[in-house]
Amino acid sequence: MKYIMFFIVFISVFSSCVNPQKKALDKVLALESKLKLAQDAGANKDLALEVVAAYSDFLLAYPEIESKPELLFKSGEVLKGLGENLLAANSFYKVHHGFPNSKLAPLALFYQAHCFESIEQRLTAKNTYQEFIDRYPNHPYKVQAEGMIKLLQYSDEDLIKQFQN
């Protein structure tokens, strides 16, 4: 009986010592889940900003976490959804530059180019799409990147004229 009581006390003490990193990550993931349920970051700006802040705070507290590229990428996606394309481009840059072997690196570079395009940085967008093609010549988005480069040579007015003809 004495051993059973010792075991119960040991288990309860051990289980109450939850890893603070896991607890913090669970909080971030819970906020992220709320935003996913809401489906539209732009319509839920306060929640989206809270999620971005949670990603940032978590990464500052645990800079060496293995899931850092995924969290940076997700932060970029939320920022992009908010229309904060320059900040999103920075998050995507951190993924493909800091973690070039990550499975998200190619998509991060592609999204970075799209962010530049969204803020009318056409030359930077073109160069970034070209970098994507050069670095990932067999990626499924290569054809789309090539198409974007072709479109970026035209002004908005030229594109409107082309589609009207």
3-state helix/strand/coil string of the chain = CHHHHHHHHHHHHHHHCCCHHHHHHHHHHHHHHHHHHHCCCHHHHHHHHHHHHHHHHHHHHCCCCCCHHHHHHHHHHHHHHCCCHHHHHHHHHHHHHHCCCCCCHHHHHHHHHHHHHHCCCHHHHHHHHHHHHHHCCCCCCHHHHHHHHHHHCCCHHHHHHHHHC
* CATH code for position 101: 1.25.40.10
pLDDT at 43: 82
In-domain check, residue 16:
yes
In-domain check, residue 7:
no
Count of structural domains within the chain:
1
Q: What is the mean pLDDT of each run of 10 residues along the chain (165 residues)?
A: 50 58 91 86 87 95 95 96 96 97 98 97 97 97 96 74 67
pLDDT at 103: 97
- Residues of the domain holding 145: 12-164
In-domain check, residue 55:
yes
